[in-house]
Amino acid sequence: MRHSPASARLSRGAALCVVLAAMTLISGAPARAQDVPAPAAEPDQQAPTRDETPVPTPADEAAPAENTGQDIVVTGSRLQAAGFTAPTPTTVLGTGAIALRAPVSVSEVVNRLPAVRNSVSPNANQRQFGGGTSPVDLRGLGPVRTLTLVDGNRFTPTLEDGTVDTSLIPVGLIERIDVVTGGASAAYGSDAVAGVVNFVLAKKLQGVRLSLQAGVSERGDGSSQVLNLAAGTSFAGGRGHIVAGLDATNNDGVGIILGREWGRLYPGQITYGATRPAGTPALGFATGVNYSTQSVGGLITAGPLRGQAFAPDGSLYPFQYGTVYSNLMVGGSNPGSEVFHWPIQTPVERIAGMARVEYELTDAITAFAVGSYGWTRADTFTGFNQSSFVISRDNAFLPAATRAAMVANNLQTITVGRLLTENGGVPQRNTFETWRAIGGFTGTLGPKWSWDASIQYGESTNEFRFLSQIIPANYRAAVNAVRDASGNIVCGPLATNPNLTPALRSQVQPGCVPINIFGQGAPSAAALAYIGPETYHDWTNTRLVVAGNLRGSPFATWAGDVQIAIGGEARRDELTATSDPYSLAAIAASGNYGAYSGRVNVTEFYGEVGVPLARDWTFAKSLEVNGAVRRTDYSTSGAVTTWKAGVTWEPFDAVRLRGTLSRDIRAPNLAELFAYSGAGVSVNSTVNPFNNQTGALSTSTNGNPNLQPEVARTRSAGIVLQPDWNWAQGLKLSADYFDIDVRGLITQVAATQVIARCFAGETVYCPQIQFDNSAFGIANVQQLSFNLNRLRTRGLDFEVAYRVPLPESAGRLDLRVLATHILRLTTYDRGTVIERAGSLANGGLPRWVGTADLTWALDAFTTTLSGRYTASAINDVTRIGPDDPAYSPALPNSININKFPSAVYLDLNIQQRVALGGTEFTFFGLVENLLDKEPPVFAGIGILTGNPYDLVGRRFKFGARMQF
């Protein structure tokens, strides 16, 4: 369903008014003296805490007293009894860790964790369609294999693949973020293959918390403004409580790489070709790279006039070539071409609001309702369209001087290469709007049992716009401008247009407007609208969930209470996608998304038990075993069972050992099951091996309703050391090993591979090919997804936390280090093994990633020096560079540079608390990339997504938080 801009603004305004009205009511409540808490006497470290209940930190605004009595939700388990220790490693980010980053959205906090790959965010997907969202990608296994929860409940999917945009969650309401770095499907269901990220929100907030901040880069771009507001109050004599939060943020983004010193070197990648000189590799990174066959006003690329370019006024000037390699060159001059026209950071506007109300119906039963709303808009663009045209001497727009030169050289046609800059490089606008409501009851059954029941409904509507998409057939028809009998300039006959193939001829749309390509700025607005109309792809996700849980202790062993949790849920997920007529006909230059709809119904039941086996024994300070099982039934693929078994053992106070073994799943998302796009014709020639004929291949992309869930086997084992020696008071060390092996990985097979595999006798692929009686013999090939591949990752997570002993008058000094070492990240594809551990491109991960925070606090002043380390890495494992022993420049995949250096980035945070008139203020400043470290020259163009290097440079954030 498409929504007009007016209706979108109306719905956003209505939702925002509800939140603001609630907050106005809250802020009008009289503040009590105890609503402004004093700093904790012994705060913990402000960096992430693993496996522990979060406590206040030096950077925290101390939590109101009402929060201290809340139940603790252990994300790695459904068991919630005091004293239970989950065996699955969990990293906890408290409010101090969030405040330390002064985030525009919470993804800036989560993506800093070494276990998270920053694969999709406004800072990481410079060259991808649909930017502006921030799902979480644990272990680099893809966001679809990370389960995102809010207060233990699934959130409404934002994207077509079912993932959640974390920027829709108000930062000001987040009490903590639990990151489970291991399989948790038995506890929480599908998608938890790599782990779970659970955002735990404030429920008993008293008073108002307000944060205002602004930011800017040292170069004057990347401006951002952030408002975080959260408030809460009790009513009805304390039996009821209401909490509401609002985020309003704006990030202006950062323009193309030419805005940075390293970008003005014009870095690029060259293909040197089969006829390259001896000793020259097949591929190479180089500076001074630009286009050699197109210019912004048009470049004549063949014949006697080759090398003449069109100036803005249509006159010719000599083009300055460098060393030419196919359509690129090194050196020379091609002003205004901006060969790499991609944003460094995507501009994003965001509104996120949430309100929660609860009321104690009785001493044992509480009713609650939660409403949330989120809206984001991202404006971005892609590179310029590159086209080449045959121009006849009678072209109506051809400058007279050029026509005279053609006559003088007896030329009937010339070939002109053109970069279309006038449309801004195919600008895109992506708007995401999500609302969600959940209501239910919580209660207790005696002192040892608790329960909850809820119903949830949410809807996410997303509008993806190409504001000026290119229709190649229209463009080629419009270039052939002639004069009619009345002398008017019109589009020439399609049948004699030298730029149109028979396939393109049938795609030309009516209403052709001739276009003048001779000189930058020459095309008219009407012509640009004809060749580049607005196209769209909209989709709506809806989710309905009914769930219930029961937790408690049925009996005790000699070592303590046995804990159990049982529950179930019924879920219905629906996805409806629509697209414009150009995309449905598959005639646009890119995108060509389809229209489809689909639904999946899910019912699932689970049980979990935690059994203490020893307590205060010799060599067993404590010993607990934990197990869970879940049975899930999908309307598309049937029933599947997941399970988990874990153990924690403390032989004595200073040591805890833990381990888990689990079977986890990822069910295919709705797009993988039901997506459809119309047939589009490839511009490349393809050989049909069945008749050895060559032709243009028509392909379409379809979902596969026969997909089965991916199945993962996850193993983890770890040790936690907390020695109690005098010099080591406050020291904590942990190390955890993980091994995740995903089988039946859902993979899409390209059309050419479908043909090749069918021809080789793999008959399962043959129904995807539509044969016909044409000379080529193939009418169309469907590209489907299958459960084909295997993906395995192994590695180690480390943590060191230490409170350095200092005299009391010297304040507190805390150190925390988190690191992840990737031992293996392997894809198995039909006998081909690709190892991407220690690489960057195509989903790779560096071998080592680590963060460190050193915090010094004295009275009301706190400063933190933070660092992030990324190890040196191979760029692309499918290529061989000089650092590889197998390197030879004669190899077809050789490249001159295939290893990027390690990098360390430092940030400095300063905070000062001040009490003024009963209100506590915290003034803060943050300098990111303190040393203004530039990225490797080729990082901005050599790494598509998940770039570990900072492309922006030194930047500043400053603001104030207040509590009243």
pLDDT of residue 964: 86
Confidence of residue 200 (pLDDT cuts 50, 70, 90): very high
- The H helix count followed by the E strand count for the chain is 12, 51
- Residue 855 in any domain: the answer is yes
pLDDT of residue 122: 61
- Helix (H), strand (E) at residue 479: helix 472-479
- Residue 578 in any domain: the answer is yes
Is the pLDDT at 28 greater than 50? The verdict is: no
Evaluate whether 212 touches 226 at the Cβ level (below 8 Å). Answer: yes
Q: Which domain holds residue 820?
A: 564-963
pLDDT of residue 582: 92
Is the pLDDT at 201 greater than 50? The verdict is: yes
Confidence of residue 35 (pLDDT cuts 50, 70, 90): very low
State the SS3 of 369-413. Answer: EEEEEEEEEEEEECCCEEEEEEEECCCCCCCHHHHHHHHHCCCCE
- Residue 532 in any domain: the answer is no
Percent of the chain scoring above 90 in pLDDT: 68
Structural domains in the chain (count): 1
- Tens digit of pLDDT for each residue in 169-194? 999 999 999 999 887 899 898 999 99
User: Which one of 179-188, 406-415, 824-833, 942-951 scores highest in mean pLDDT?
Assistant: 406-415
pLDDT of residue 819: 97
State the SS3 of 148-197. Answer: EEECCEECCCCCCCCCCCHHHCCHHHEEEEEEECCCCHHHHCCCCCCEEE
Is the pLDDT at 69 greater than 60? The verdict is: no
- Residue 13 in any domain: the answer is no
- Tens digit of pLDDT for each residue in 843-877? 899 999 999 999 999 999 999 999 999 999 999 99
- Residue 713 in any domain: the answer is yes
- Tens digit of pLDDT for each residue in 931-958? 999 999 999 888 877 789 999 999 999 9
| Residue 341 vs residue 711, higher pLDDT | 711
Mean pLDDT, residues 753-769: 89
Mean pLDDT, residues 758-773: 89
In the Cβ-directed half-sphere of 56, how many Cα atoms lie within 13 Å?
16
Confidence of residue 74 (pLDDT cuts 50, 70, 90): low
pLDDT of residue 56: 31
- Residue 116 in any domain: the answer is no
Is the pLDDT at 117 greater than 80? The verdict is: yes
265 by DSSP, 3-state: which?
A: helix
DSSP 27: H
Spacing of C-alpha 499 from chain mean position: 39
In the Cβ-directed half-sphere of 892, how many Cα atoms lie within 13 Å?
1
Distance, in Å, from the CA atom of 736 to the CA atom of 661, rounded to the nearest integer, reads 13
Is the pLDDT at 270 greater than 50? The verdict is: yes
pLDDT of residue 19: 40
Is the pLDDT at 661 greater than 80? The verdict is: yes
Quote the radius of gyration of the chain (alpha carbons, Å): 30
- Tens digit of pLDDT for each residue in 490-542? 999 999 999 998 888 999 999 999 999 999 999 999 999 999 999 999 999 99
- Residue 369 in any domain: the answer is no
Mean pLDDT, residues 326-349: 86
- Residue 957 in any domain: the answer is yes
| Residue 592 vs residue 70, higher pLDDT | 592
Of 57-66, 366-375, 583-592, where does mean pLDDT reach its minimum? 57-66
Is the pLDDT at 605 greater than 70? The verdict is: yes
pLDDT of residue 331: 94
Q: Count of residues for the chain? A: 964
CATH code (residue 853): 2.40.170.20
Confidence of residue 44 (pLDDT cuts 50, 70, 90): very low
- Tens digit of pLDDT for each residue in 359-392? 999 999 999 999 999 999 999 888 888 999 999 9
Burial of 525 (0-12, 13-18, 19+ CB in 10 A): exposed
| Residue 15 vs residue 347, higher pLDDT | 347
- Tens digit of pLDDT for each residue in 292-316? 999 999 999 999 999 999 999 999 9
In the Cβ-directed half-sphere of 622, how many Cα atoms lie within 13 Å?
20
pLDDT of residue 73: 53
Confidence of residue 61 (pLDDT cuts 50, 70, 90): very low
Distance, in Å, from the CA atom of 338 to the CA atom of 217, rounded to the nearest integer, reads 22
Confidence of residue 683 (pLDDT cuts 50, 70, 90): very low
Evaluate whether 690 touches 756 at the Cβ level (below 8 Å). Answer: no
- Averaged pLDDT of the chain: 87
CA–CA distance from 430 to each of 169, 346, 464, 804 (Å)? Answer: 18, 11, 5, 48
Is the pLDDT at 36 greater than 70? The verdict is: no
CA–CA distance from 502 to each of 471, 697, 882 (Å)? Answer: 15, 14, 46
pLDDT of residue 779: 85
Confidence of residue 70 (pLDDT cuts 50, 70, 90): very low
Distance, in Å, from the CA atom of 489 to the CA atom of 395, rounded to the nearest integer, reads 9
